[in-house]
Each structure stands twice: as structure tokens, then as C-alpha cells.
Amino acid sequence: MDAAGRAILSAYEEVAGPLDEPSLDWWRAAGLLQVAARRFRRLETRDWTLTPILVERAAELLRPPRTRQAPHAAADLLDPRWMSGVLRVALAPAQRSADPLQVETAEQLSPSSGRRAVIRYRVRGLDGPDAAAVVGKVFAEPQRAQLVYEHLRVLSEAMPATQGLGVPEPLALLPERGLVVYRHGEGTPLSGIHDPAEALRGVQAAARWLAQLHSSEVTLPRRVDLAQEVKTTREWAELIASLYPWAAARARWVADHWAAQAAAPRRGRAVPLHRDFHPGHVLVGDRICVIDLDEARQGDAAFDIAHFCAYVELLMGVPADHGSEGTLSAASLASAFVEEYAAATGWADTGSVAGFTAYTWLKIAKQWATAAGPCRGASAEQRLDGVADALGRGESCLSG
């Protein structure tokens, strides 16, 4: 309906010229209140639950423009009362309860980067008497919300939850706000599992999830652009060089040699990629749910495989347990992941894994240098050691 409304306004303004937006909003609010009053006066009580939704929408239209047209402001996103009005309208098609939808709490999950913010809401009235957890991801560029919603929609159809492997269920898209809403994924991040046996089962399940993604018939709207990736890796190298001058030559060497490998002809078909697949994005619970599909696109399957294995090395070193008969190293977990994936797909490396692994280690070196991503909060000494280690691993991939 939002899309239909925008289409009508666009066509009208092509002929009649721009409309006065405050006047339009005033009359829209008046219309909503008129409809609410009519529904409330009816004897059909099933219509009465729609009254508060219509009134909240009217109230939203009448708020000052600064308040309601700044969806990226933390004060708006973290205001349960304000978001109750927004989500009552947005989640109405997914609502299974007759009770008015109400946001009880709002919690920011990651620091706002200026480009996006991620908020978890506990919402009552969505499914029944119990509160449900949903996530709102808002983007400064509204088209990115549209893209994420489309990724979740097509992948939730291709990877049904009944098979134990899935993605968060998309619930709503508000393109004019740059907001996509989906169910919160339940489970423990694979990177947080320290029991060796559980960690092994987790990486094997992650491999099956990736195999299902790569084997699906999904075609995503974007493709990996290797020329752009070469440019990006060189930018990473220069950023590392500016922060750690001693690492400049090494970072540039990895970027240059990765660029040479990226220019080589590619074999095999492009498959749907997660493109940021790592243990922190794999939730292990009653099913395997993989999150953060913002960067998904078509490309070489080796990209996801190499990326995951490098981050296993970074995040999943399993400490020795003196009470167990043995331990699993991060390298063993990475090998188990590749074996499980190959068994499910018949995949074999055609020579591109080493290059994509070097690419990932350069990315990790950049994250250490800037204390970003999984390296956020690292001490100065940890960052120094991390940059050196990541560059060394990237060099090893390209010099073998």
C-alpha cells in the first residue's frame, strides 16, 4: 500500500506539480481518523482492534517533521512509545494476536556507524500473550533496507526452517524510513562455543548451511566485483600503513599479490554468497540460523569458504581442556568445515581459496588496525600483535 501511495503521488505531481507536504499529511491524518471513527462505531467488533493502529498512524503524521522524518536518530529508534506506533502499522500483516501491538523495550545491538543502526525490540501482541523479539535495522541509504529485505525474503523461501537451516524471518519493510524488520535469530553464536565437541558439530552444521545456500537456485541482485575488491584491498593496505608505518610494505605486498590473483580467469558458476560468513554470524540453537546478510551477492563459492575458515582461525581457537582426551585446534575446525562442505556439494578447490584467504586476512589486519568488527575493544598491544599475525598469514597464503 505504501508503494501504491507513492506511485499515485508521483504520477499526480508529474501533471500538477509538487504538493505541499504538511498539508498533505494533515489531510491524510484527518482521513485516517475518519476511518478509525467509522470502524469504532460499527457493531462488527472485529474492526475495533484496528482503531488504535489508525490513530497512531494519524498521530505520527501530525508530529513535527524533525521528529518523524529522522528515522536514523537514536532517540526515535530507542523510544518504545514512538516505535510502538511505527511497528503497529508495519507488523499488522504479520500479527497473529488480537491485542494491540506494544513495544516493551528497545536495545541497541551495535554502535551506530552513521550508515546503519541495529535495534532489538521486545514486542507484545505480535504472536500472542508472550513477548517476541524482533530486530529493526535502519539504513541511511533506504535502498539498502530494500536490498536486505529482498535477501531475507528469497533466502527464507530457499532455506525453510523445517530443514533446521535458515535465516531470520523478514516481517516488514518501510522503504521511506530505510527500515527493515525481521525476527530475532535465537541461539548461541558459534564463535562463543568453547566445548570442542559442540564447536565441531557447530562448524559442520555451518558447512551444511553454506552448502544449501550455494546449491540453491537463488539469484541475488548483485555480483562480487573483483575490480572493486582490488581497489578496496589497496585502500585497506593504505589505511594500515597510515596507522602502522612498519607494516606498510607488508600490507601493500599482500594487496598487490591478491590483485594479481584476482585478475586470473575464473572457472565455475557464480553462486549466491553470504560474503561476510563467519562464526559470529552463525547462531546455534534448535536450528542453525545465519544472520547479517546485508552484503549477500553472487560470486565464487571459494570466497565464503575462505572467509569462514580465516575467521575460525581468528575467533575459535579451542583452549586445552585437561579433563578431555583431546582438543580441537582452530585449524582442525576449519578442516572439518571444508570436509563437510565438500561432502555435501562435491566441491573441490580450483586454486582460488588461497587468494580469497589472503584477502580475508588483509581485511582482518585492517580490523585489528582500526579496532573494528570482532577486534573492537582490543588493547594497543593486542592490535599490534594482531596486525602482524594477520599480515603474516596473508603473506603465507600468497607465497606458497
pLDDT in tens, 185-226: 889 999 999 899 999 999 999 999 999 999 998 999 899 999
Residues 233 and 283 in one domain: yes
Q: Using one digit for the tens of pLDDT, what is the confidence trace for 243-260?
A: 999 999 999 999 999 999
SS3 state at 293: coil
Please list the residues that pair with 117 across neighbouring strands. Answer: 138
Q: Tell me the backbone φ, ψ of residue 387, rounded to 5 degrees.
A: -60, -50
Residue 381: CA count within 13 A, CB half-sphere: 0
Q: Using one digit for the tens of pLDDT, what is the confidence trace for 13-27?
A: 767 767 777 788 889
Residue closest to 164 by CA, chosen among 194, 208, 127: 208
C-alpha cell at position 330: 582452530
pLDDT bin (cut points 50, 70, 90) of residue 148 is: very high
Q: What is the rounded distance in angstroms from the CA atom of residue 171 to the CA atom of residue 14?
A: 33
SS3 state at 113: coil
Residues 181 and 193 in one domain: no
pLDDT bin (cut points 50, 70, 90) of residue 335 is: very high
> What was the pLDDT predicted at 162?
58
SS3 state at 83: helix
Residues 37 and 155 in one domain: no
> What was the pLDDT predicted at 112?
61
Residues 327 and 378 in one domain: yes
> What was the pLDDT predicted at 2?
66
Q: Counting Cβ atoms within 10 Å, is residue 272 exposed (0-12), middle (13-18) or buried (19+)?
A: buried
> What was the pLDDT predicted at 51?
76
Q: Counting Cβ atoms within 10 Å, is residue 219 exposed (0-12), middle (13-18) or buried (19+)?
A: exposed
* Mean pLDDT (whole number) for 371-400: 93
Q: What is the CATH number of the domain that holds 377?
A: 3.90.1200.10
Residues 113 and 232 in one domain: no
- From 69, 97, 121, the end of a domain falls on 69
Residues 201 and 334 in one domain: yes
Q: What is the largest CA-CA distance in the chain?
A: 79
Residues 140 and 215 in one domain: no
* Contact (Cβ atoms closer than 8 angstroms) between residue 387 and residue 244: yes
* Mean pLDDT (whole number) for 112-127: 86
Residue closest to 279 by CA, chosen among 312, 302, 310, 304: 312
Residue type, 139: F
- Which stretches of the chain are DSSP H helices? 2-16, 21-41, 50-62, 65-68, 74-77, 80-90, 142-158, 196-215, 226-243, 248-262, 301-315, 330-345, 353-370, 380-399
Q: What is the rounded distance in angstroms from the CA atom of residue 270 to the CA atom of residue 368?
A: 31
- From 46, 69, 92, the end of a domain falls on 69
This prediction has a pTM of 0.78
- From 185, 204, 224, the end of a domain falls on 185
Question: Does the pLDDT at position 78 exceed 70?
Answer: yes
Residues 318 and 334 in one domain: yes
* Mean pLDDT (whole number) for 133-150: 92
Q: What is the rounded distance in angstroms from the CA atom of residue 155 to the CA atom of residue 114?
A: 27
Report the share of the chain in percent with pLDDT over 70: 89
pLDDT bin (cut points 50, 70, 90) of residue 71 is: very low
> What was the pLDDT predicted at 264?
81
* Mean pLDDT (whole number) for 159-177: 84
Residues 102 and 53 in one domain: no
> What was the pLDDT predicted at 113?
61
Question: Does the pLDDT at position 324 exceed 60?
Answer: no
SS3 state at 60: helix
> What was the pLDDT predicted at 111?
66
Residues 170 and 282 in one domain: no
Give the DSSP H or E segment for 103: strand 102-110
Name the average pLDDT for the chain. 87
Q: Tell me the backbone φ, ψ of residue 105, rounded to 5 degrees.
A: -140, 155
Q: Which residue has the higher pLDDT, 40 or 121?
A: 121
* Mean pLDDT (whole number) for 214-239: 94
Q: What is the CATH number of the domain that holds 76?
A: 3.30.200.20
In order of 133, 202, 207, 208, the CA distances from 345 in angstroms are: 34, 18, 10, 9
Please list the residues that pair with 289 across neighbouring strands. Answer: 166, 283
Residues 166 and 301 in one domain: no
Q: What is the rounded distance in angstroms from the CA atom of residue 373 to the CA atom of residue 38?
A: 52
Sign of the torsion angle spanned by Cα atoms 64, 66, 68, 69: positive
Residues 236 and 170 in one domain: no
> What was the pLDDT predicted at 66?
42
Residue closest to 171 by CA, chosen among 179, 162, 163: 179
Domain extent, residue 113, equals 70-185
> What was the pLDDT predicted at 315?
93
> What was the pLDDT predicted at 332?
93
Please list the residues that pair with 121 across neighbouring strands. Answer: 106, 134
* Mean pLDDT (whole number) for 96-116: 83
> What was the pLDDT predicted at 210?
96
* Domain count within the chain: 3
